[in-house]
Amino acid sequence: MADNRDDEGPAQYASPPCFMHELDPEYREPLSDWTDIRRWRKAERERLINARLAVSADARAAMSARIAVGLDALIGDIEGRMVSLYWPFRGEPDLRGWMTSI
C-alpha cells in the first residue's frame, strides 16, 4: 500500500509562498492583497533581469563557461544519467554549448 500523506491535513511549509520578507529588509507585515504581491513580483523580476543584462555579454559568456567546467567536475561521466537543461532567459547563464558537448 502506498504511503499517502495527503490525508494527514494541511501541509506545513518552511517558508511562506511569498519570500518578500527574505529579500526586502524594509518588508514588515505580510501582504494580504495579491495585487500588491503581483506588483512586487513583477518589479523584482524586472530588477533581476536588468541586473543580469547590465553584465557584459563577454562576462556572462565567461561565467557560463565557468559553470560548465564546474558541472563537468561535479557530474563527471554522464553515461546512464539523464541530464536536462532550460533555455536561458534574458541574461541567464547559457549552457546550451555545454549541453551539446556532453
Residue 17, pLDDT > 90, answer no
The three cell numbers locating residue 40: 512586487
User: Which band of pLDDT confidence, cut at 50, 70 and 90, is reported for residue 68?
Assistant: very high
Check residue 85 and give its pLDDT.
Answer: 86
The separation between the first and the last C-alpha atoms of the chain, rounded to the nearest angstrom, is: 40
Q: Give pLDDT, residue 26.
A: 72
Rg (CA), the chain: 20
Distance CA 66, CA 91 (A): 15
In percent, the amount of the chain with pLDDT more than 70 equals 73
84/66 Cα distance (integer angstroms)? 18
pLDDT of residue 45: 92
Q: Which of 15-24, 63-72, 85-94 has the largest mean confidence? A: 63-72
Q: State pLDDT tens for residues 44-65.
A: 999 999 999 999 999 999 999 9
